[in-house]
Amino acid sequence: MLFTKLINHCQFYRLSTNRIMSKKIICLFDVDGTLTPPRQKIDAKVDKFLQDISKTEKFDIGVVGGSDLVKIQEQLGENNIFDKYKYVFAENGLTAYKNGQKLSSETIQDAIGEDVLQNLIDYCLEYISKIKLPFKRGTFIEFRSGMLNVSPVGRNCSQKERLQFYEYDKEHKIREKFIQALKKEFPDLALTYSIGGQISFDIFPIGWDKTYCLRYVDDNYDEIHFFGDKTHEGGNDYEIYESGLTIGHRVTGPDDTIQQIKTLVNILNETFSKGPPTQCL
């Protein structure tokens, strides 16, 4: 009886270990505030760490950002981003690439119609014209394929002004109040309003948040780990962080991201290196 139990125990160990070691895992990363400071280029040490990890460990890596592809490339590598990341999801995955090959692209005007889109833009411009801020610059609305990006202060502000507005917004809730006004003005539109970064928020059809990208990886992996900083409700990482399809990791910046990846790697390596119980040798 004891011998039978021992045989079953060893068989269970071998089956479990094989199952764990054969798991297909991907780590998806937000960009701003996770891999880089907001709208800044990735630090060389973070970049090197990610590339070393992707070559030596048993998982793939990808990025999912709210910005368009050009901006993500500016931050993560203009010429070789597709060599570094197996998946690149711009605009929450509305523009998707795998191994450098484009998978698909969706547009907000096709989803909600040109008339509604113009009504949204007109209202946003009117609202911005009426609010008083310490300063305003240019590019208040940026049209992206899958969303509108709205910045009350203007995306042309300097880095110093960006930080000043961010602190001002924490106190005065400029973006939060703007979103509440939009919801009141357009109560019947199936839209999501998502605060991200330091100076802006995004408007896109419901379901076009970062969970949109999961349709391209869900069937290919046993575990999907997501790392992001804006994981609170209303933040642009919230939906994918809370998704039942992902294992969410809340980070405070690039250095914290590295530490959390190291922790994940150690957990995986400990599982692989423990070895079988002595009685199974």
36 is in an annotated binding site: no
77 and 123 belong to one structural domain: no
Stretch 224-229: mean pLDDT? 98
162 is in an annotated binding site: yes
39 is in an annotated binding site: yes
For residue 19, tell me if it sits in a domain.
no
Confidence of residue 187 (pLDDT cuts 50, 70, 90): very high
241 is in an annotated binding site: yes
144 is in an annotated binding site: yes
- Helices 174-185 and 114-130: crossing angle in degrees, nearest 10, is 140
241 and 166 belong to one structural domain: no
Stretch 36-50: mean pLDDT? 94
Asked if 43 and 36 count as a contact pair (C-beta separation under 8 A), the reply is yes
Confidence of residue 57 (pLDDT cuts 50, 70, 90): confident
Half-sphere exposure of 192 (CA within 13 A, CB side): 25
For residue 9, tell me if it sits in a domain.
no
Summarize pLDDT for 116-149 with one digit per residue, the tens: 999 999 999 999 999 999 999 999 999 998 899 9
* Domain CATH number, residue 163: 3.30.1240.20
278 is in an annotated binding site: no
For residue 20, tell me if it sits in a domain.
no
120 and 196 belong to one structural domain: yes
Q: Which residues partner with 25 through β-bridges? A: 59, 223
Q: In 3-state terms, what secondary structure has residue 56?
A: helix
The secondary structure of residue 41, as a DSSP letter, is: P
Mind giving me the DSSP string for 108-173? Answer: HHHHH-HHHHHHHHHHHHHHHHH---S---S--EEEETTEEEE-SS-TT--HHHHHHHHHHHHHH-
The secondary structure of residue 176, as a DSSP letter, is: H
200 and 222 belong to one structural domain: no
Which residue among 180, 205, 230 closes a domain? 205
For residue 101, tell me if it sits in a domain.
no
For residue 11, tell me if it sits in a domain.
no
- Please state, in angstroms and rounded to a whole number, the distance separating the CA atoms of residues 29 and 104: 20
- Please state, in angstroms and rounded to a whole number, the distance separating the CA atoms of residues 134 and 144: 27
What pLDDT does residue 18 have? Answer: 47
For residue 76, tell me if it sits in a domain.
yes
Which residue among 205, 228, 243 closes a domain? 205
* Domain CATH number, residue 42: 3.40.50.1000
79 and 213 belong to one structural domain: yes
For residue 176, tell me if it sits in a domain.
yes
For residue 99, tell me if it sits in a domain.
no
30 is in an annotated binding site: yes
Q: In 3-state terms, what secondary structure has residue 194?
A: strand
Asked if 87 and 96 count as a contact pair (C-beta separation under 8 A), the reply is yes
What pLDDT does residue 119 have? Answer: 98
> Considering its fold, how many domains does the chain have in total?
2
What pLDDT does residue 274 have? Answer: 54
Closest CA to 152 of 181, 182, 132: 132
Mind giving me the DSSP string for 69-82? Answer: HHHHHHHH-TTTHH
Summarize pLDDT for 154-171 with one digit per residue, the tens: 999 999 999 999 999 999
- Please state, in angstroms and rounded to a whole number, the distance separating the CA atoms of residues 78 and 43: 14
What pLDDT does residue 272 have? Answer: 55
Nearest 5°: the CA angle 213, 19, 249 is 40
What does pLDDT average to over the chain?
89
Q: Which residues are designated catalytic?
A: 30, 32
Supply 192's token pair: 């999501």
Summarize pLDDT for 58-98 with one digit per residue, the tens: 789 999 999 999 999 999 987 789 999 999 999 999 999 99
- Please state, in angstroms and rounded to a whole number, the distance separating the CA atoms of residues 106 and 21: 36
Q: In 3-state terms, what secondary structure has residue 94?
A: coil
What pLDDT does residue 16 have? Answer: 42
83 and 219 belong to one structural domain: yes
Which residue among 205, 223, 257 closes a domain? 205
Confidence of residue 275 (pLDDT cuts 50, 70, 90): low
- Please state, in angstroms and rounded to a whole number, the distance separating the CA atoms of residues 21 and 269: 10
78 and 153 belong to one structural domain: no
115 and 201 belong to one structural domain: yes
What pLDDT does residue 145 have? Answer: 87
201 and 214 belong to one structural domain: no
192 and 214 belong to one structural domain: no
What pLDDT does residue 176 have? Answer: 97
* E strand spans, the chain: 25-29, 59-64, 87-90, 95-98, 101-105, 141-144, 147-150, 191-196, 200-205, 223-228, 247-250
Structural domain of 58: 25-94+209-273
85 and 128 belong to one structural domain: no
59 and 131 belong to one structural domain: no
